[in-house]
A and B are shown apart, each in its own frame.
Chain A
Amino acid sequence: DAGVTQSPTHLIKTRGQHVTLRCSPISGHKSVSWYQQVLGQGPQFIFQYYEKEERGRGNFPDRFSARQFPNYSSELNVNALLLGDSALYLCASSLAVGREAFFGQGTRLTVV
């Protein structure tokens, strides 16, 4: 079975641009969460979605948004990129809210 897949794997953007990151959960998993991991730190929770509805939001500015589609895949959007947004963005899927999370390999975003 395929695990969590994220695309793209690497991305370079310029300050002020916007970016869309994509995630496909494990088959049968209905919940997707997004995390930001800055170099040298643990992942920080951004959003959780379940059945296409937002179920949790971390302490991130409104420039960050996400959505979940009927097939349970998800997109994370970041507008007006800042240098500080450079990080590994991780997607995790789980059967439901509060269940064990399984991570994708992440998207490495570099803002220059």
Chain B
Amino acid sequence: TQLLEQSPQFLSIQEGENLTVYCNSSSVFSSLQWYRQEPGEGPVLLVTVVTGGEVKKLKRLTFQFGDARKDSSLHITAAQPGDTGLYLCAGKYNFNKFYFGSGTKLNVKP
């Protein structure tokens, strides 16, 4: 069961373009994390958002947690080929369980 739905599933863009990926749920999460995963590797934590409405920036990446803590977005400005990867959101649910979305596969072409 996927508690978290991510969109789009696939995204292929040119270097320098901006993009936004979304993570949505009907459930409320106490926190939400974004990871990037490269082929054959484990996910690498990018950010954790905790408060409804919270915005966090990590260089060209901007993360937002929805006011109701049911959704989140990741915006990348001026994408670079090094941003290529699988972007996963994971919500903390019921205190000790993390549920992952199915991911957005991003390809940034030079």
Sample (12) of A-B pairs whose CB atoms are under 8 Å apart:
A33-B98, A41-B102, A42-B2, A42-B100, A42-B103, A44-B100, A97-B96, A100-B45, A103-B35, A103-B44, A103-B45, A108-B40
Q: Which residues on A sit within 8 Å (CB–CB) of B102? A: 40-42
Tell me the A66-81 residues at the B interface (CB within 8 Å): none
Q: Which residues on B sit within 8 Å (CB–CB) of A44? A: 100
Residue on B nearest A57 in the bound complex, by CB: B97
Report Cα–Cα, A41/B2, bound state, in Å: 10
Kindly identify which residue among A59, A100, A103 contacts B42, using a CB–CB cutoff of 8 Å: A103
Q: Give chain B's interface residues, CB within 8 Å of chain A.
A: 1-2, 4, 6, 33, 35, 40-45, 48, 88, 90, 92, 95-103
Residue on B nearest A102 in the bound complex, by CB: B45
Residue on A nearest B38 in the bound complex, by CB: A105
Q: Which residues on A sit within 8 Å (CB–CB) of B48? A: 100
Size bin of chain A's contact surface: 20 to 34
Is the beta-carbon distance between B33 and A106 smaller than 8 angstroms?
no
A101 at the interface (CB under 8 A from B): yes
Counting from the closest, the 6 A-B pairs by CB-CB distance are A103-B42, A42-B100, A97-B96, A42-B102, A43-B100, A105-B42
Report Cα–Cα, A40/B92, bound state, in Å: 22
Residue on B nearest A106 in the bound complex, by CB: B42
- In whole Å, how far is A68's beta carbon from the nearest beta carbon of chain B? 14
Provide the A92-105 mask, 1 if CB < 8 A to any CB of B, else 0: 10000110111111
Kindly identify which residue among A33, A43, A56 contacts B43, using a CB–CB cutoff of 8 Å: A43
Is the beta-carbon distance between B98 and A45 smaller than 8 angstroms?
yes
Report Cα–Cα, A102/B90, bound state, in Å: 12
Q: Which residues on A sit within 8 Å (CB–CB) of B1? A: 59
Q: Which residues on B sit within 8 Å (CB–CB) of A24? A: none
Is the beta-carbon distance between A4 and B42 smaller than 8 angstroms?
yes
- In whole Å, how far is A42's beta carbon from the nearest beta carbon of chain B? 4
